[in-house]
Amino acid sequence: MARILVIDDDTIFQKMIGHTLTPLGHELSYANDGLLGLTQANAINPDMVICDVMMPNMDGYEVVRRLRRNQKFAQTPILMLTAQSELDEKLAGFEAGADDYMTKPFAPPELVARTGTLLRKVEAFKKPFDEQSERNGHIISVHSLRGGTGSSTVAVNLGVGISGLWAKPTIVLDLVLTAGQIALMVNGTLRRTWADLTHLKPDEIDMQELQSIINRHDLGFDYIAAPTFPPEAELLTVDHFTRCMNLLRKQYDYLIIDLPHDFKEISYSTLDLANQIVIVIAPEMASVRAAAAAIETYKKLGYDLDKITLVMNWIFERNGLARKNIESALHHSIDLILPFVPNITIEAINFGQPFLATKPGEPISEMLENLAFGLSKEDDRTVPPVNPTKAWQRTMKRLKG
């Protein structure tokens, strides 16, 4: 069973937590304030931390932030248990790096359930990466020079689709370093992000360091979140990302990358490595002009235009430009048109639940799952898997029917 550290100055709640979790076989330790909690954590190296917010000497937010800055606790599940129930308090807890948040007073069965869920998640990270792995990861870059077209939504659902189709190691990388929202879109925490590599020189990064910032989703894919605050990204260089990409390609069969809306050095270097490039546009003039500039730049960079897939996301109800006019302006066919379904897309963002996972039967989900199949490695597309997944089976049914 697990070693659980409870950091709370209220002895009554310490006893309540103990009465709830000790019968399950967990070994509990206690600290009465934030500073003692940090000392105790370093001494016993707990499997999980339950932390109050309002405490003497140091509040719970700062405790969590300091724990997350220590690589030893990068993947340690942290549950904030507090009387503070306002939304902004919860958001502050998640931004500090907490995995979950419960309010006092709590129902013992809920504490048992949430503790169990967090402990099961962390088990997935105990399997070490294969340092001898020589995979040649297939890179799919999602790009748009104009924000607001839904490129992050496309990237996240491609991650869901590809990991669901092939059940192979898949990671989604948020390279929108100033305002990336991949973690939000998968209801993930910001306990560790790209910013946690800034203290390292590029050649000092290894898979152990990278593993400390990789988050794992219940749907089967991994992701690395963008920094919480834009200034945190300033010390990250293209050499950092080149080093990371070289390491990650050996560990993952698929890498889906949400790129910033630019052609700066990090975008250039990532696009150079891409096996497939997905351009996401909206049916309006500014987006079309941005797409034209992107395609022209790809040509000048010598990219094979056959690896470019153009996705038009119908982000408003009416009065969009006609498909034939857009294709004529871009001299490139539109490969996929996503329908206007605000209820589905907004709900997915607000709840952090990708619609391909929660609503696989919706037309927009089926379209993106088909796209995920089409962007996959040729070997995967042409050789039926030994153990076909449900996603593969329903995709084959659609494509053959």
Round to whole Å and give the CA distance between 374 and 61. Answer: 44
Tokens of 177: 């370093």
pLDDT in tens, 141-189: 999 999 999 999 999 999 999 999 999 999 999 999 988 999 999 988 7
**What pLDDT score was predicted for residue 132?**
58
In 3D space, the residue among 247, 254, 259 whose CA is nearest the CA of residue 376 turns out to be 254
Q: How far apart are the first and last CA of the chain?
A: 50
CB 152 within 8 A of CB 182: yes
Burial 152-186 (b: 16+ CB within 10 A, else e): bbbbbbbbbbbbbbbbbbbbbbbbbbeebbbbbbb
Q: Domain segments of the chain: what residues?
A: 3-126, 138-400
Which residue carries 């050996």 as its tokens? 250
Q: What DSSP letter does each residue of 149-204 carry, written as one string?
A: S-HHHHHHHHHHHHHHHH-S-EEEEE--TTT--HHHHTT---SS-GGGGTTS-GGG
Task: Count the Cβ atoms, other than its own, within 10 Å of residue 262.
Answer: 13
Looking at residue 148, its amino acid is: G
- Fold type of domain 138-400: Rossmann fold (3.40.50)
Q: How far apart are CA 266 and CA 246, in angstroms?
A: 14
pLDDT at position 128: 56
Q: Give the Cα separation of 82 and 61 in Å (integer).
A: 11
Q: Which CATH architecture does the domain made up of 3-126 adopt? A: 3-Layer(aba) Sandwich (3.40)
- Cα distances from 14 to residues 32, 82, 85, in angstroms, run 9, 12, 19
Question: By CB neighbour count within 10 A (0-12 exposed, 13-18 middle, 19+ buried), where does 195 fall?
Answer: buried
Structure-token match 């500090």, residue found: 96
pLDDT at 371: 98
Matching fold, domains 3-126 and 138-400 = yes
Q: Estimate to the nearest angstrom the gap between the alpha carbon of 346 and the chain centroid.
A: 18
- Secondary structure (3-state) at 393: helix
Residue 243: the pLDDT is: 94
Residue 176 near residue 152, CB atoms below 8 Å: yes
Q: Which DSSP letter does residue 340 get? A: -
In sign, the C-alpha dihedral spanning 233, 235, 238, 244 is negative
Quick one: residue 14, left, alpha or beta (phi over 0 = left, psi -120 to 50 = alpha)?
alpha
Residue 127 is predicted with a pLDDT of: 54
Contact 214, 269 (CB under 8 A): no
Task: Report the pLDDT value the prediction gives residue 291, as an integer from 0 to 100.
Answer: 96
How far is Cα 4 from Cα 19, in angstroms, rounded to an integer? 13
| Residue the block writes with tokens 């066919």 | 333
Show the low-confidence residues of the chain (pLDDT under 70). 84-85, 124-134
d(CA 162, CA 171): 10
Residue found under tokens 């724990």: 67
Query: pLDDT at position 390, please?
Result: 95
φ and ψ of 282, to 5 deg: -115, 155
pLDDT value at residue 99: 86
Q: Provide CB contacts within 8 A for 218, sequence distance 6+.
A: 121
